[in-house]
Amino acid sequence: MSCVCRTMFFLLVLAIIAISSSTPSPSEPGEGHTDGFEMYKTWHIHAVNGMSHEKILFLHCKSGDNDLGIHNLTAGTEFNWKFKPQILGKTLFWCYMAWGNVHASFKVFWDDNDLFYRCNWKNCIWTAKDDGVYLKNIPENYDEFRHKWEPGRLDANSTM
């Protein structure tokens, strides 16, 4: 190879390396979670009645665009839904839960890497228990206490 040819070849190799390293590749499990691309995959939210003594859990979940309706969950059952965030950082779901004469109202999905970690980048599992609402920390395999029950109930029509 002449000197010019060798230089051209070297530049070509450099260009190929530069292109391939700047192209987003499919993320490996456990990698690339901070770049925001994960927001666009399908997420699965679970609201579980994990209470004792056959308590019925009143549940009403919503996002800005969707009202997921009222569900009365018997003990040991869950309501769940899937979605794909459309706009980076803009997707928000929240739920109102109530039983007896107590309630809790809280976000169940928002743009938060700590949340995504606990959901294992796929499944956010919120469980109502006798003393409050827990979020499953899937990688570390335990239920994390997140919200205590507040006294009283809100009107079913103004549950958020």
For ligand NAG, the binding residues (CB under 6 A) are 58, 70, 72, 156
Closest approach, Cβ 80 to ligand NAG, in A, equals 16
Toward ligand NAG, which CB reaches closer, 66 or 86?
66
Closest approach, Cβ 99 to ligand NAG, in A, equals 9
Return the structure tokens found at 96: 């109102």
Toward ligand NAG, which CB reaches closer, 11 or 156?
156
Q: Which residues pair with 67 in a beta bridge?
A: 62
Rg of the chain on CA atoms, in Å:
23
DSSP state of 50: -
Toward ligand NAG, which CB reaches closer, 15 or 156?
156
Query: DSSP letters along 30-86, please?
Result: TS-TTSSGGGGS-EEEEEEE--STTPPEEEEEEESS-EEEEEEEPTT-EEEEEE---
Closest approach, Cβ 104 to ligand NAG, in A, equals 15
Closest approach, Cβ 70 to ligand NAG, in A, equals 4
Toward ligand NAG, which CB reaches closer, 45 or 57?
57
Q: Which residue is nearest to ligand NAG (CB)?
A: 72
C-alpha–C-alpha distance, residues 146 and 112, integer Å = 15
Closest approach, Cβ 63 to ligand NAG, in A, equals 19
Toward ligand NAG, which CB reaches closer, 36 or 69?
69
C-alpha–C-alpha distance, residues 154 and 160, integer Å = 8
Asked if 136 and 125 count as a contact pair (C-beta separation under 8 A), the reply is yes
